[in-house]
Amino acid sequence: MIGIAPSEISAARRFDSLQSALEAAPADGDTPYSIFLPAGIYNEKVLVRKPNVHLVGAGRDETVIRYGDYAGMAAPGFPADSGEKLGTFATATVTVEATDFRAENLTIENSFDFLTTDALPKGHTDKVSGTQAVALETGLNSDRSAFRNVRLLGYQDTLFVQGGRSYFLDSVIEGNVDFIFGAGQALFENSDIVTRPRGSRRETVGYVTAPSTDIGNEYGLVFLNCRLLKADGVPANSSPLGRPWHPTTTFADGRYADPNAVGAAVFIRTFMDDHITGDGWASMRGTSRDGTKSTVFPPESARFYEYQSHGPGAQVNERRRQLTEIEAERYTRERILADWKAPF
């Protein structure tokens, strides 16, 4: 049973599912509505549509919200032979589409079996296409989303910060391909960012980040005093810090890679294990005006920087641009979060 204790109700209410507990929250709640999740595995796909919802688990490894949607699966509501696919944006185990969401002491996992399909050779009849599988999505209607002692677990596209501001403290995020991505503004402090292996041997295991930050936003993905670690099976020099994602967008003159999505990712005083590549960053292809994926966006076209990286994966060279001391002073919690004071 799931216990609910909104501030205006003295006795806890109980629900049989997390989503039903969320639906019981006030539509325009201006005080915290806390949902307590005892230890256990909650096999649910969850959508948060009401403000000031707080999810509190029994412990990061004891309370797990889990689901296994992936981009290439058949979209619900369409005929089986229609070819319609779910798509990346609809795969999240937990999607936040409201303000002032908070989660503590739990794990959010996308349980899609990435490794098995990734291990199959190209052309194998059982190989799945569309292996993007999001664990957590902070959507376009979200803002001021805060996470403490949370574990996000997936492989490709684990964390999608699509919009708003989000703050991660003392947390763990695991994945491999573009596993922290999107246009939202996200601050990560004192957190472990763990690269997981692929199902088959390859030179590049994945990319830690793939930001698509709008050029009008100074901050995108910012990592302060974090650790970039690797799981067993991840080789040295196999994981760039990130690559610039320019989402295919519809404009008046056509559909092509958004030129204003000038991704920002900055690592400050961050430990880096030896899986981080010597060059640090990588290029990414985007949709050209003719519909092909022929446009290449080099890392130099994005806002990719470091400051005082350390560890075996840390290097200073012409490919790994460094902030000056004065520039680094702008990367404080107060500046990044602007008028929002983080709740912890």
Of the residues 100, 118, 178, 258, which is catalytic? 178
Any bridge partners for residue 173, and if so which? 152, 193
What's the residue count for the chain? 344
Q: Which phi and psi (to 5°) does residue 336 adopt?
A: -65, -40
CA distance 78 to 295: 33
CA distance 189 to 308: 15
Long-range contacts of 318-321 (CB under 8 A, 24+ apart): 319/278, 319/279, 319/280, 319/281, 320/279, 320/280, 320/281
At 193, which amino acid appears? I
Three-state SS at 79: coil
Is there a contact between 213 and 220 (Cβ–Cβ < 8 Å)? yes
Three-state SS at 337: helix
CA distance 173 to 186: 13
Residues 6+ apart with CB under 8 A from 7: 31, 32, 33, 34
What DSSP string runs through 154-212? Answer: -STT-EEE-SSEEEEES-EEEESSS-EEESSEEEEES-EEEEPPPSS--S----SEEE-
In the residue annotation, 178 being an active-site residue is answered as yes
Of the residues 69, 100, 118, 157, which is catalytic? 157
Residues designated catalytic: 157, 178
